[in-house]
Amino acid sequence: MTLDLTTSAQDMTVSQSRFRNALLDPETPAPDGLVTPEGTHAEKRFGVYRNNVSHSLASALVDGFPVLTKLLGEAFFRQMALVYLRIHPPASQLIMHYGAAMPTFLVGFPGTVHLKYLPDVARLELALRRAYHAGDAEAIAPADLTQLDQATLMDTRLVLAPAVETLTSEFPALSIWEFNMQDGPTPTMQAETILISRRGYDPVAQRLPLGGAVFVNALKKGHAFGTALGLATSQVADFDLTATLSALIAGHGIIKIEKG
């Protein structure tokens, strides 16, 4: 066995990919070339950066998913977050949106795979965050809509606020959210269609009737009112248009009426 006792300058060069790999993988030792004041290997000191990265990202996920954190308990959630952040480190500097892969991650994570409703709760929390940061827009006055006669209404395009999204869940995702965040009633097992929007600066989530998501998404795509209504009733014969419009208006979701 021969030992190479020469240390070239090259050996001491710490590339950022080596630094990054060791940061995210606790099994990988700190790169050579990172040293203490005496010039010895700085393994424990490197741990400060490891800890800063994992703590700050796990905390961003705790802040971003308050209901998931409550459902799973913060200690468990933080352990899970450490696994998540190694697989899905942020792809953007906008930490406000960090965690977009959480719904699919939860499906495959051994500790949560049996909790089938969790991915939709995560989707709802992500949508509420997007709504919080969505572009500003002023809602129409309800009378602007109600004064239109039916023929005009059918040809009209309703422009929706940037914050408007829908979520169709096989689970009572909104009831679970309300139970945990607003002392809502105990959720019962049922599918829920959810409208996410923003009133002023506050995101709001409301229940939509069956077919409501089809209607709202058709409006979002720019279809005329009549076309959207046709799409919704073709899927749900007794589609409740009044309840859907009430939710859109209450959620400040309509920002412009464009006559056809």
Given 92, 150, 182, 242, the residue binding other proteins (CB under 8 A): 92
Q: Which residues contact 123 (CB under 8 A, 6 or more apart)?
A: 103, 167, 169, 173
Question: How far, in Å, CA of 92 to CA of 60, rounded?
Answer: 13
For residues 29 and 111, which CB has a smaller minimum distance to other proteins in the complex? 29
| Phi, psi (degrees; rounded to nearest 5) at 257 | -115, 115
Does 37 bind other proteins (CB under 8 A)? Our answer is: yes
Does 23 bind other proteins (CB under 8 A)? Our answer is: yes
Q: Report whether 128 contacts 196 (CB < 8 A).
A: yes
Distance of CA 195 to the CA centre of its chain: 14
Residues 185-224 that bind other proteins (CB under 8 A): 198, 201
Does 147 bind other proteins (CB under 8 A)? Our answer is: no
Q: Report whether 221 contacts 118 (CB < 8 A).
A: no
Does 136 bind other proteins (CB under 8 A)? Our answer is: yes
Given 1, 2, 75, 93, the residue binding other proteins (CB under 8 A): 93
Does 81 bind other proteins (CB under 8 A)? Our answer is: no
Count, residues in the chain? 260
Given 15, 147, 190, 234, the residue binding other proteins (CB under 8 A): 15
Biggest CA pair distance of the chain = 92
Q: Which residues contact 210 (CB under 8 A, 6 or more apart)?
A: 193, 236, 239, 240
Tokens representing residue 54 in the block: 């994992």
Q: Tell me the window of 13-21, 117-125, 222-230, 234-242 that interacts with other proteins (CB under 8 A).
A: 13-21
Does 43 bind other proteins (CB under 8 A)? Our answer is: yes
Does 57 bind other proteins (CB under 8 A)? Our answer is: yes
Does 2 bind other proteins (CB under 8 A)? Our answer is: no
Closest distance of CB 148 from other proteins, Å: 28
| Phi, psi (degrees; rounded to nearest 5) at 202 | -105, 120
Residues of the shown chain interacting with other proteins in the complex, contacts defined by CB under 8 A: 9, 12-17, 19-20, 23, 33-37, 39-40, 42-46, 48-49, 52-53, 56-57, 60, 89-96, 132-137, 162, 198, 201
